[in-house]
Structure 1
Amino acid sequence: MTNDQFGSPATATYTIGTPANLSAPCAGQNAETIQAVDPAANAVYDAWIGCRGIGFAGSADGGATFGAPVTLPGSVGQKGGRSWDPAITVAPDGTVYVAFMVARSGLTYPVVDVSTDHGATFRTAGAITPPDASNWGDRDFIAAGPDGTLYLTWDYGPSAAAVTFVCSPSGSCAFATGDVNAVLQKSTDGGRTWSPMTHISPGYPNSGADSAPVVVEPDGSLDVLYQGYVVTDIPTDDLTVAHTYATRSTDGGASWSPPVRIGADAGTMNNSEWWIDGSEALGPDGTLYATWDTQGPDSDTGWLAYSRDHGSTWSAPVRVPADTLDVPHIMQVVAGPPGTAYVGWLSSSDPRGYAQYLRTFSTTRGWLSAPVQVSRDFGTGTVWPGDTFGLSALSPTRLVLAWGSAVAPTASTDSIWAATVRVALP
């Protein structure tokens, strides 16, 4: 298998539904959606930054239609009028949990809302109290285990004053310096109370780690993918270039295996990459999939790798988008049938602006199609679409995607769009 297979015959085909505007009733900017599904209920749930705080919309018919968006409790009036970085999961009993970051009284931390009626109503379950005054916190991820235990990872630093930023005029911000770390906490009572944090990335408080999605295996083991920067000049903690690492816990997050670097020959991430980098998915056969993107002097490349031994070793990286233009390639992956992964990316690689793309990969056959465009319209390339998008599988061949994009006639602000995709595999 080679890293480039764009000339291979397209054998998977796609039936793409008409994109729907989920956020239409919410005025102003709506961006950075994230998504979860409940296949047993044929339900799709999206949360995003917007609707005066964190917006939410649900679908009870597999993404064909969505209810009116609502603003989640506890999300209004934070960080300049908005909360940020939503994360979402569905527990085995159908309970929906949405986490998001807030800043209050000099502290930054995640809040967790809960719905026990399939997203019809929400209440705040609880919040995490940081152990340090004037702390720094960012990007949270949440996942539910088979027994209903909630696992939440987030970026944490003891001192907000130590973190400095590199901000994009048409994106969000990356970190130039700081005591940034990937940490985990868990809850066994539906998010009301949370365990003390454990450190996923070694070297706390100078580990240089952020953005740590967590996957729970059927036996309760935890798999985490994170972005780890090379840290120099401690205690200033200059963040230089980053690599993608995988680590695993078999004791509920109390301890973590030595991190394994993925795609060592694929390049590095720079400290001006403003989007959320790194996505991980677990296939029904136990295969782990990871996506990320790297930056060269004048390029940006999206990658996929997989592991058949719980993250101990990984395949050679496979290039995903056809282009390597110096623009964002915001990557996500979700598992399909055994040995199959669906990879999506949101990118402004087309001169017309941002679009949502998708293609299918087989661990035995390579790429099963060329990239296809899921979005019908292009979003303005100079308007921030958010740092993430949604990609979920309701069945092995039925997908739902959601993304932010500034499309005419309101091309100065983003809306949240969603579309269904049915995949016919060879």
Structure 2
Amino acid sequence: MKTPLCLLLLSVAFIQAEEPSPPKIPAEVWQVAPKAMFPVMHRLPDGRVAAVIRAGAAHLGLAGRLDMIFSSDNGKTWGGQVVVNDSPLDDRNPAFGVAKSGALVVSFYRTANYDEQGKYNPFLGKEMSTWVTRSEDGGKTWQPPTPIDCAAHGFGSPYGRMVTLPDGSMLMAVYGDVVGSKGEMKTRRETSHVYRSTDDGRTWSRLSQIGSGKTQLNETALLLTRSGRLIAAVRSRAYELWTSVSDDQGATWSEPKKLAPAWVHPADLIEAPGGVLLLAGNRVGPFGLIGIIGSTAGEFDYAKRFTITDTLTSRDSGYPSGVLLPDGRILALYYSGSDHAHKDWARPHVAAASFALPGQ
């Protein structure tokens, strides 16, 4: 009898065998930050580019903290690394936004669920909490973090770039579920939510849930298009990629539609010339990043994907975050444990890819 994992691996192998390889576009790549992971990038009001990154530990570890790095030359070089938050617990999973006032806002998840040997165990019943911190001096200093109440869905893990609406309110994607004992795992329901702030990112409350709960969803990228439509690209618990849209500033969402198969996740969204660029980690193999150009209505065709980089060494990689550069090129940050083509880069590291969109 085949286990669900065996069936999933067989399906991945079938995808690799049957689907033609997507075209690979030219891209420049370089290392940005050694010993770092999970970048979330934003362009600042003064023209700089900034990214919040996980530092201090690997994918898991109590020493995990959140730092911010800055670039004044559109991502070619980075510096000015500052600590955003570093508590005795594991500070991780950031979301990053810029308020209408220009204040920088970072929300994050904190967990104490590590045993005496330092091994992560989500069933220990220790602290799991969600926080927000702000900087009013361009990221030089950060205010003491304040908690966000996510009890409605057990715990809350922020994700991706925050959205600032024309009226100054801010939206942020947060996912969670109720974590109990191992025996309750089958009844857990992961859900993706949108939180809103109406006071420049200082306080947050739950606004809506993406989807009816029929499909379990977690890490969610949000984009506000120039038309006012919000697009969400959402990772599912089955490791697939789904999309949803909202035309009422995030109050309600369309029922999500499946876009990509298992192991193509998570995503980022950028409005670019000619439509909306979706970036995603390719964990099917060869491991790297893919892109899909869709419409500003939120329609994407997975068959039209293209490869940006394909030299990463494992599935523990990806998490792209991109911005549109003044010259029309795209700058994307991502992380990797190591890279076949750059064996001298740190393990792990945050890297950058710069590329022109196909046909431009």
Equivalent of residue 231 in structure 2, options 266, 274, 289: 289
> What value does the CA root-mean-square deviation take over the aligned residues?
4.2
- Flag the 1:218–1:384 CA change in 2: closer, same or farther, 3 A: same
Deviation at 1:244, TM superposition (A): 1.0
Q: Which amino acid aligns with 2:120?
A: F
TM-score using structure 1 length: 0.62
How many residue pairs are counted as aligned between the two chains? 325
Corresponding residue for residue 250 of structure 1: 198
Greater share of residues in helix? 2
Q: Distance in 2 between matches of 1:188 and 1:217?
A: 19
Q: Which amino acid aligns with 2:198?
A: T
Corresponding residue for residue 80 of structure 2: 123
Q: Verify the 8 A CA contact 2:39 2:319 in the aligned structure 1.
A: no
Matched, 1:309 2:245: no
User: Deviations 1:19-58 (Å, cap 9, x if unpaired)?
Assistant: 22313xxxxxxxxxxxxxxxxxxxxxxx4xxxxxx24xxx
Sequence identity of aligned pairs in percent?
A: 18
Corresponding residue for residue 140 of structure 1: 94
- Flag the 1:341–1:264 CA change in 2: closer, same or farther, 3 A: farther
Question: Any unmatched runs of 5+ in structure 1?
Answer: 1-13, 24-46, 48-53, 56-81, 167-174, 271-276
Corresponding residue for residue 18 of structure 1: 26
Equivalent of residue 111 in structure 1, options 43, 57, 67: 67
Matched, 1:329 2:265: yes
Q: Verify the 8 A CA contact 1:16 1:419 in the aligned structure 2.
A: no
Question: Any unmatched runs of 5+ in structure 2?
Answer: 1-21
Counterpart mapping for 1:70-219 below 5 A: 82-103=35-56, 108-114=64-70, 122-125=79-82, 127-128=84-85, 130=87, 134-157=88-111, 165=120, 175=122, 178-203=126-151, 207-213=154-160, 214-219=162-167
Q: Distance in 2 between matches of 1:320 and 1:361?
A: 11
Q: Distance in 2 between matches of 1:239 and 1:257?
A: 26
Q: Distance in 1 between matches of 2:36 and 2:47?
A: 25
Matched, 1:356 2:289: yes
- Flag the 1:293–1:86 CA change in 2: closer, same or farther, 3 A: closer
TM-score using structure 2 length: 0.72
Q: Verify the 8 A CA contact 1:374 1:419 in the aligned structure 2.
A: no
Q: Distance in 2 between matches of 1:255 and 1:294?
A: 27
Deviation at 1:136, TM superposition (A): 2.6
- Flag the 1:128–1:249 CA change in 2: closer, same or farther, 3 A: same
Q: Which amino acid aligns with 2:253?
A: W
Deviating more after overlay: 141-150 vs 356-365: 356-365
Corresponding residue for residue 37 of structure 1: none
Q: Which amino acid aligns with 2:52?
A: A
Deviation at 1:249, TM superposition (A): 0.9
